[in-house]
Amino acid sequence: MVLKKCLSCKNMFEMTKSRCDPCRIKHNDHQKTWHKTEKGQAAMTRGNHSEKGRERSKRFWKSDKGKKKNRAEGAKIAKKRHSKSEKGVASRKRKNRQLDVKILKAVNQLLCGEKKYLSIVDQTCFKTGTAREVKEHFQRTLVGTGWTMDDRGTKWCIEHAIARCWYDHSDPEDVLRCWSHENMYAGDKDAGTAKGVRILDSECIRAGANNWPKAWNGEMPSEEERQKMYDAKLGHNVAANSLE
């Protein structure tokens, strides 16, 4: 470590940077504030268009960090372009016509207070289809978690012990099994994303055999059968998170 003088406080420190840690934090905060001003914006534009700025930009986009950001931005642009295309619009319409998507949307609307009653929810365990009934169920599943109803969407979300995609939503009995009290609870948002559509023994036990998909014929699929189900549903060997 080299003994250097801080550019701001002028004190000597053993450091590799031009400013000590406290001064660097203050300087960075000041720079962020200044860059938002009209003069700051103009200065950044001049700097970016200068010879040094262009060279700096080239170095960044050739770096691993720059390549990663470029791929991420490219993916966002492609997704946005697809969503506006005819195929994207048609895809959204098909998805919105799916009963499970409609029910999930309705339950969320009841939970957040957008609606007081939705008839489509009558097809589930919520026979009255009211916001009160839906909220009471999820409040019961929140006991012991430390979360509140206000944490929905940030800390917890509507979780299915057995993913919706394994049920036949053209069969009223399967719909009722999928959207049963035992198969629905307030689950950790990150854990739910990580689980995706994977079939876990502990979650199957939680749902109860009476609420397993009819196609299972009262038996949990073996590991080999589960992998074949993942392959058929997702087109590859890893259980993705996109279907739940």
pLDDT tens digits, residue range 21-39?
889 888 888 888 988 899 9
Tokens (6 digits) for 215: 């196609």
Distance (Å, rounded) from C-alpha 66 to C-alpha 76? 15
Q: Nearest Cα to 168, choosing from 99, 236, 243?
A: 99
Task: Give the count of beta carbons closer than 10 Å to the beta carbon of residue 174.
Answer: 18
Distance (Å, rounded) from C-alpha 91 to C-alpha 83? 9
CA–centroid distance for 24 within its chain: 34
Mean pLDDT confidence for 181-210? 94
Mean pLDDT confidence for 82-89? 85
pLDDT tens digits, residue range 96-128?
668 898 999 999 999 998 888 888 888 899 988
Place 235 in a pLDDT band, splitting at 50, 70 and 90.
low
First to last CA, the chain: 51
Distance (Å, rounded) from C-alpha 213 to C-alpha 232? 16
Predicted TM-score (pTM) of the model is 0.59
Q: For residue 122, give every residue at least 6 positions away whose Cβ sits within 8 Å of its Cβ, in sequence order, or none.
A: 128, 129
Any idea where the domains of the chain sit in the sequence? 41-94, 98-234
